[in-house]
Amino acid sequence: MSLPSTKALVLDFGGVISRTLFETHDLSEAALGLAPGTLTWRGPFAPETDPLWQAMQADQITERDYWLARTRTVGKMVGETWNDMQTFVQRARGADVEAVIRPEAIAAVHQAKAAGCKLAVLSNELDLFYGARFRERLPLLQCFDVIIDATYTGILKPDRRAYEMCSQALGLWGDDCVFVDDQFRNVQGAIQLGWQVVQFDVTQPADSFQRALRLLGV
């Protein structure tokens, strides 16, 4: 099916394009030399066992606060002092960046692009977490027309200006944009601009991407 470029698929990166750190504890433990089962926090996969995650969901702390706390804890486990998420992500995920990318994301991106849709990443911390050279190591990101990263803009979702910046870069507004994010507050921010939205379920990634593609008419 061929469509003119009058619609866009806008994706969060962490949790949507990449698998969450909750899902890759085994890879993290292997990369960091930790015994299997050392990392027990599970976030959305077992919120009842993760009080810090519950506090974030209740807006008592920010997402960055959550991950800074996890970063410091894991750093202590390996006998080091870590004060930035970039260190955690790069050390935990090793050299094979593609190992943590969702195959469902790859399929959806290529399907949307083949249908003539524009593609954008709207992230709060892409380069903050992964490092500036990460984009060069992940070919999938070359498919995107626009990457808006609060690492540089300083404007975090759900601030309205983040979505407006993305719309302006795409040249598309309102329901021409289909936004996918795993955080409720960020989805709500997009709704305020009239975007179509999918709250990504990290436990059912294929279904979430299919819902987004249907909204695009793909």
Contact 27, 99 (CB under 8 A): yes
What residue has token string 């009058």?
Answer: 6
Contacts of residue 162, Cβ cutoff 8 Å, sequence gap at least 6:
122, 148, 150, 153, 155, 156, 189
Tens of pLDDT, residues 123-133: 998 998 888 88
- pLDDT for the residue numbered 93: 81
Residue 2 lies in a domain: no
pTM of the model: 0.88
Which of 49, 68, 97 terminates a domain? The answer is 97
Tens of pLDDT, residues 69-79: 999 999 999 99
Predicted confidence band at 94 (pLDDT cuts at 50, 70, 90)? low
Clarify whether residues 179 and 111 are in a common domain: yes
Which of 36, 71, 97 terminates a domain? The answer is 97
Residue 203 lies in a domain: yes
Clarify whether residues 65 and 169 are in a common domain: no
- Helices within the chain (DSSP H only): 25-32, 51-57, 63-77, 85-93, 103-114, 126-130, 134-137, 150-153, 160-170, 184-191, 205-216
Residue 1 lies in a domain: no
Clarify whether residues 57 and 132 are in a common domain: no
Mean pLDDT score of the chain:
93
Q: How far apart are CA 29 and CA 37, in angstroms?
A: 8
Domain count, the chain: 2
Residue 3 lies in a domain: no
Clarify whether residues 86 and 136 are in a common domain: no
What residue has token string 């989805």?
Answer: 187
Integer angstrom CA distances of residue 186 from 15, 58, 122, 163: 13, 14, 10, 10
Q: What do you get for the CA distance between the two ends of the chain, in Å?
A: 7
Contact 86, 130 (CB under 8 A): yes
What is the torsion angle, in degrees rounded to the nearest 10, for the CA atoms of residue 106, residue 110, residue 111 and residue 113? 140
Which of 38, 63, 97 terminates a domain? The answer is 97
Predicted confidence band at 3 (pLDDT cuts at 50, 70, 90)? very low
Residue 180 lies in a domain: yes
Clarify whether residues 142 and 58 are in a common domain: no
The count of other CB atoms within 10 Å of the CB of residue 59 is: 8
Q: How does DSSP classify residue 45?
A: G
Clarify whether residues 140 and 193 are in a common domain: yes
- pLDDT for the residue numbered 1: 35
Clarify whether residues 85 and 116 are in a common domain: no
Q: How far apart are CA 180 and CA 16, in angstroms?
A: 7
Clarify whether residues 119 and 211 are in a common domain: yes
Comparing 4-13, 107-116, 151-160, 164-173, the range with the smallest average pLDDT is: 4-13
Percent of the chain topping pLDDT 70: 97
Clarify whether residues 210 and 119 are in a common domain: yes
Structure tokens at 11: 């994706």
What CATH number is attached to the domain comprising 131?
A: 3.40.50.1000
> Residue 127 belongs to what domain range?
8-19+101-216
Clarify whether residues 89 and 108 are in a common domain: no
Clarify whether residues 14 and 48 are in a common domain: no
